[in-house]
Chains A and B, each alone.
Chain A
Amino acid sequence: MSDPGASWRRDFPALAEFEGTHVAYWDSAATAQKPQAVLDAVVRHYQSGVGNAHRGVHRWAERTTEAYESARANVARFVGAAAAAEIVFTRNGTEALNLLASAVCVANVRARPRVVVSEIEHHSNLVPWQALCRLEGAELVIAPVDERGELDLEQLETLVDERTALVAVCHVSNVLGSVSPIARIAEHARRVGAWCVVDGVQAAPHLPVDVQALGCDAYVISGHKLYGPSGIGAVWARSEHWASAPPWQYGGDMVSQVQLQHAEFQHPPYRFEAGSPPVEGAIGLSAALDYLRAIGHDAIQRHEEQLLSLLIARLSELQRVRILGAPNQRVAVVSFNVQGVHPHDVGTVLDAHHVAVRTGQLCAAPALRRFGEHATVRASVGLYNTHADVEQLIAALQLALELFP
């Protein structure tokens, strides 16, 4: 059986065998390894001399500005935005969701005091909405999922009503890998006049993203999970939402005119990017998107689907292993618990056998509680994972089972 992961893996220097040790990296949902193309782009940026973006008339500043803005255009193309100005760069996905919850969505929540989230959201798509609702005296309503991990759509559509400002859901769950039917949720939201905010952090590395087809109002991605550097995230929102939103951080670059007692602010996206921008991160992210585009989303998706099915089939053969949820469509992650062995102990035994998984609460404590667990083990797929990685994970798990009879 051909294994494209084995050849893509060679693009990632961190995954090269070292002293005969093959590391099976199953933690890309936490952060992905970086291809050489990303490292080269970042090094090239510094080697050719930097200026600050949007500041100065010298050639280095100009080149930096151009690189930063072309990265914005690249992100816009990646998510299917109507214009580059609809993309705002942030530090990460969490900061992007905080920008939405503390500026862009505030007036809407004041007018319609109800926010709906699902019960399996990452803390970053839950806690900012808790804070906004507390501040504005709005109601935070939780949409349930069933045993498989699927959103109860009928109930969600009852909860998202004319009083609702917005519904915030993940495109792909970081715990279950379930795929939310965003197009349907967004269509219902639009019908009742609510916004649909999508945490696309776990989806973007695995599924093609087209915000026009999804019909949502805002979509968040994270650079380091997309094989880019850490310290860069981005949020797309409809231009009319940006246009009516107040700034959320103040200082350099986000202003158009400044008096001692008063300032006027830039148009979007600059109004939302105070201070020197994360140029290195944007350049690295842009290189990562080029890398993904060169391979092609279809090829990546085919490979990852096949690997995930193989992994689930092999896990299901093991005694004492229980997989969380059974969604109709699962991408990116599978979480499981081993009866009689705490997830952290599983993680340590796996690490001793050069297998990296995530263990613990996965920044989604309520989601785990929903499935009766305090902690779990999560294996998440990257394009560089291989059939051999599956076998290495299963072999290490068998050793964990033997160690804890």
Chain B
Amino acid sequence: MTDPLALYRELVIEHSRSTKYTGTLPSATCSATLHNPLCGDTITVHLEVNDAGIITNARYEAQGCAIAKAMASMMSERIIGQAVAQAKSWSVLSQAAVTGDDQLGFHELTAMIALPARRRCATLPWDTLGAALQAASSAEA
């Protein structure tokens, strides 16, 4: 059996304490906030998207557990410089990734297979990203 706390030791604790991508983003072009009613956690994602549809900057505000914060931090790292369409597709695929589907190749998400009760914590930032991008495209349309 794999150690369910390995993910904490390897990634979660360090990234949950990183402040590299935390806070607001005055230049944000879109934002969204999602809430997990099960635990009361809240995540806000702010994105700066340029005219070419590239995410040029990202920040998050989190009131939540170490997993949600760490995933938000690692997600920010991954999406900056990516096209909106790419980030949208990752947001959708994150749901399957936490059940072990390795299409994305994001180790932090597939490692959630060991912590089934906490998958929602891991996908909350990715869902919030999806909501922010959705908000941006509806505003354009």
Q: A342-B64, A344-B121, A374-B41 are in contact. List 19 more A-B contacts (CB 8 A).
A: A342-B66, A343-B39, A343-B65, A344-B65, A344-B118, A345-B8, A348-B4, A348-B5, A348-B8, A348-B67, A348-B117, A348-B118, A349-B8, A352-B3, A352-B4, A360-B38, A360-B39, A374-B40, A375-B39
In the complex, the answer to whether A403 meets B65 with C-beta atoms within 8 Å is no
Q: B residues engaging A (CB < 8 A)?
A: 3-5, 8-9, 13, 38-41, 63-67, 115, 117-118, 121
Contacts of A341 in B (CB 8 A): 66
In the complex, the answer to whether B67 meets A344 with C-beta atoms within 8 Å is yes
0/1 string, A198-242, CB within 8 A of B gives 1: 000000000000000000000000000000000000000000000
Q: Which DSSP category, helix, strand, loop or mixed, fits chain A's interface?
A: helix
In the complex, the answer to whether B65 meets A342 with C-beta atoms within 8 Å is yes
A375-B39 Cα distance, complex, nearest whole Å? 7
In the complex, the answer to whether A352 meets B39 with C-beta atoms within 8 Å is no
Question: What is the distance, in angstroms, from A135's C-beta to the closest C-beta of chain B?
Answer: 24
Contacts of B38 in A (CB 8 A): 360-361
In the complex, the answer to whether A361 meets B39 with C-beta atoms within 8 Å is yes
Contacts of B5 in A (CB 8 A): 348-349, 352, 403
In the complex, the answer to whether A404 meets B13 with C-beta atoms within 8 Å is yes
Q: Would you mind naming 19 contact pairs between A and B with Cβ atoms under 8 Å apart?
A: A342-B64, A342-B66, A343-B39, A344-B39, A344-B41, A345-B8, A345-B66, A345-B67, A348-B115, A348-B118, A351-B4, A352-B4, A360-B39, A360-B40, A361-B39, A374-B40, A375-B40, A403-B8, A403-B13
Contacts of A365 in B (CB 8 A): 40
Question: What is the distance, in angstroms, from B19's C-beta to the closest C-beta of chain A?
Answer: 15
Please tell me if A359 contacts chain B, counting CB pairs below 8 Å. yes
Contacts of B13 in A (CB 8 A): 403-404
Given contacts A344-B39, A360-B39, contact A374 B66 (CB under 8 A): no
How many residue pairs link A and B with beta carbons under 8 A? The number is 51
Size of interface on A: residues with Cβ below 8 Å to B: 18
A352-B4 Cα distance, complex, nearest whole Å? 6
Chain B minimum-CB-distance residue to A399: B5
Interface residue ranges of A316-367 to B (CB < 8 Å) = 341-345, 348-349, 351-352, 359-361, 365
Set B3, B39, B66: member contacting A359, Cβ < 8 A: B39
Question: What is the distance, in angstroms, from A168's C-beta to the closest C-beta of chain B?
Answer: 23
Contacts of B9 in A (CB 8 A): 403
Q: A residues engaging B (CB < 8 A)?
A: 341-345, 348-349, 351-352, 359-361, 365, 368, 374-375, 403-404
A344-B65 Cα distance, complex, nearest whole Å? 6
Contacts of A361 in B (CB 8 A): 38-40
Contacts of A360 in B (CB 8 A): 38-40
The 4 lowest CB-CB distance pairs between A and B, nearest first, are: A342-B65, A344-B65, A360-B39, A374-B40
A352-B64 Cα distance, complex, nearest whole Å? 20
A360-B41 Cα distance, complex, nearest whole Å? 9
Chain A minimum-CB-distance residue to B114: A352
A321-B37 Cα distance, complex, nearest whole Å? 25
Contacts of A359 in B (CB 8 A): 39
A140-B41 Cα distance, complex, nearest whole Å? 27
Contacts of A351 in B (CB 8 A): 4, 117
A306-B40 Cα distance, complex, nearest whole Å? 33
Contacts of A345 in B (CB 8 A): 8, 65-67
Question: What is the distance, in angstroms, from A26's C-beta to the closest C-beta of chain B?
Answer: 16
Question: What is the distance, in angstroms, from B7's C-beta to the closest C-beta of chain A?
Answer: 10
Question: What is the distance, in angstroms, from A382's C-beta to the closest C-beta of chain B?
Answer: 21
Contacts of B66 in A (CB 8 A): 341-342, 345, 404
A183-B109 Cα distance, complex, nearest whole Å? 53
Question: What is the distance, in angstroms, from B61's C-beta to the closest C-beta of chain A?
Answer: 14
A342-B118 Cα distance, complex, nearest whole Å? 13
Contacts of A403 in B (CB 8 A): 5, 8-9, 13
Contacts of A349 in B (CB 8 A): 5, 8
A365-B38 Cα distance, complex, nearest whole Å? 10
Chain A minimum-CB-distance residue to B9: A403
Question: What is the distance, in angstroms, from A401's C-beta to the closest C-beta of chain B?
Answer: 13
A403-B10 Cα distance, complex, nearest whole Å? 11
Contacts of B65 in A (CB 8 A): 342-345
Question: What is the distance, in angstroms, from A46's C-beta to the closest C-beta of chain B?
Answer: 31
In the complex, the answer to whether B115 meets A374 with C-beta atoms within 8 Å is no
Contacts of A342 in B (CB 8 A): 64-66
A340-B39 Cα distance, complex, nearest whole Å? 17
Chain A minimum-CB-distance residue to B64: A342
